[in-house]
Structure 1
């Protein structure tokens, strides 16, 4: 069920402390940790502690936690000192867009140049 921990979800296990992660920030509603396969010098995932399949599901069910994820993405960028040069916040939604973990999450990417359109 949405909003509840899913036993087969990697990010739910990370939030619960059952799977190790390089945590950089934590709030009452979010957890931010470094991606294990970074695509930029800064590549941090910001996840809500509640389980929703994707960003639209999270936004529809809990706009406040959605805002918390975005605010924390900005805090991660500031702490990694990429806020002055620019960074991306990416929500992959669906397998065709590259979503591989079915728990809403934002990628914070920075520390290198990015092309547009993304590829």
Structure 2
């Protein structure tokens, strides 16, 4: 099941992959998602899980599709662990927005197999944040949740 590209999706490489109009090494697909090898992998086996429907980011994705993307990501992580690639860990990463390093503006979940000494270090040394500041941030998020209901 593929959808025709909407005007917003014109030129979207992931929409083209979903529609089989662009080449990709697909490892899984169903009516909602397609999982394929990242063309610029962080490590060997790096997968992307994308919804068939064009959505730029989290705000544009409905709950059911989002749940299926995450569920498929879980399935892909399990498959990577059981594969002959013999990864020793998995990172699941979402880049939502340019400030978060999103480069293809079609929602996608990275499933990155990790190997001892693979050299990729997404973590940094962050200082501990004061509890009063954490509480203030928590309240701002709670307020947004309450406003959405």
The within-5 A match list for 1:1-119 is 5=5, 6-58=9-61, 62-81=62-81, 85-113=88-116, 115=121, 117=123
Larger radius of gyration: 2
Unaligned runs of 5+ in 1: none
Give the Å deviation of 1:116.
6.2
| Number of positions where the alignment pairs a residue of Structure 1 with one of Structure 2 | 114
1:66 match: secondary structure: helix
Unaligned runs of 5+ in 2: 126-149
TM-score by length of 2: 0.68
Q: Which runs of 4+ in 1 moved over 3 A?
A: 113-116
TM-score by length of 1: 0.83
- The structure, 1 or 2, with the larger RCO (C-alpha pairs under 8 Å, 6+ apart) is 1
Distance 1:105 1:116, change over 3 A: closer
Could you say what the CA RMSD is over the residues aligned between the two structures, in angstroms? 2.5
